[in-house]
Structure 1
Amino acid sequence: MNAGEKRVGPGQGSDRLSWVLIILHGFLGIGAIVGGGCLIIDPSGNLLQMPDSLLEHSPFRNFLIPGIILMLVLGLMPIVVAIALMTHFHWKTGGKLNLYTDRHWAWTFSLYTGFALHIWIMVQVFWIQHVSIIHLIYFAWGVAIQVVTLLPGVQRRYSS
């Protein structure tokens, strides 16, 4: 080890990676709450400068339902997951929906959040019939959430 080099002990690397995961969830959640809230406040989409033409191939007449889904699934859920990843709090329903019973429910819900983000982006692209850079960024964000969640150190940190 060179002078000035820090040795990372057990848990320290996974602590850093856990914080990366928490931050990914936190920023996703905040952004989706703001975006979803704006769509709920103004279902026409004008507040976010979103034209009606974006809904042309979708089953929606306005942005209210997409705003509610965005706020709850990609806003509230990632915030709850981020808090649970920090605090390891117990949630009975989360435990029942946890497919990986040897892991804390928040770890599993982190994977669920990545899948939810991928589905959201794919459905958006299908309905809008156009791919933009923001779609690619958020798809990559979902991949990043899942990759960090699946790293061995992070898995160990959230093992039962």
Structure 2
Amino acid sequence: MKTTMGRNCLILLLGFLGLGALGGGGALVISPGGRLIGMPLSLLKKSPFHDFLIPGTVLFLLLGIAPCLLIFALIRKPACTFAEKLNCYRDMHWSWTFSIYTAFILIAWIQLEMVFLQAVSWLHTFYMVLAIAILFVALLPAVRSLYQKSI
């Protein structure tokens, strides 16, 4: 029972991240000027971007689509040769490893956002805690044991 509770918690955390990033990233792709979600282009003055299209696309794909696909992979554990080539933990199923990667991508995203915006908001703290929670839950022994490959 404990093992599935940890897995379900990981799935819930990834689902929250994915749905939020699909909404936010999608809004920025649809409205690169930021009007749809009330983000002025002036926020980007210290960044390499002229509008929100590229950041929105990256947010939508890496932190939106990817975690949503990971949920399926964590539940079904499908084989994927390409994903296995990127798996640095050979004794673990690639979906578990990619949940770790997702947490680090979120940490990098938040760090870059704070640098480019030259500001820190409560949302940065919230999403940093979310990334740490994803890491913590994924690294729980009960969760790890679900994704350990049998040798």
Q: Does the TM-score normalized on the shorter chain lie above 0.5?
A: yes
The alignment status of 1:149 with 2:138, answered yes or no, reads: yes
Cα distance, 1:82 vs. partner?
1.1
Please point out which of 92, 104, 123 is paired with 2:81: 92
Aligned to 2:49: 60
1:71-150 → structure 2 map (5 Å cutoff): 71-150=60-139
Distance 1:75 1:29 in 2: 4
AA of the residue aligned to 2:102: T
Identity %: 45
Q: In the TM superposition, what is the alpha-carbon distance from 1:140 to its structure 2 partner? A: 0.4
Largest Rg, 1 or 2: 1
- The structure 1 segments of at least 4 consecutive aligned residues displaced by more than 4 Å after TM superposition are none
- What CA distance in whole angstroms lies between the structure 2 residues aligned with 1:156 and 1:89? 17
State the SS of the aligned residue for 2:91: coil
Counterpart-to-counterpart distance in 2, 1:127 and 1:24: 26
1:34 Cα deviation from its structure 2 partner: 1.1
TM value normalised by structure 2: 0.97
Question: CA–CA distance in 1 between the matches of 2:52 and 2:75?
Answer: 33
> How many positions carry a matched residue from both structures?
149
- Which amino acid letter does the alignment assign opposite residue 19 of structure 2? I
Offset at residue 89 of structure 1 (A): 1.1
Q: Match for residue 8 of structure 1?
A: none
**Alpha-carbon distance, 1:21 to partner:** 0.1
Cα offset, 1:52, TM superposition:
1.2
1:80 Cα deviation from its structure 2 partner: 1.1
- Please tell me the residue identity of whatever aligns with 2:41: D
Deviation by residue 1:18-47 (Cα, 9 ceiling, x = unmatched): 000001111111110111111010000010
Paired AA for residue 88 in structure 1:
K
Normalized against structure 1, the TM-score is what?
0.92
Over the aligned positions, Cα root-mean-square deviation in angstroms equals 0.6
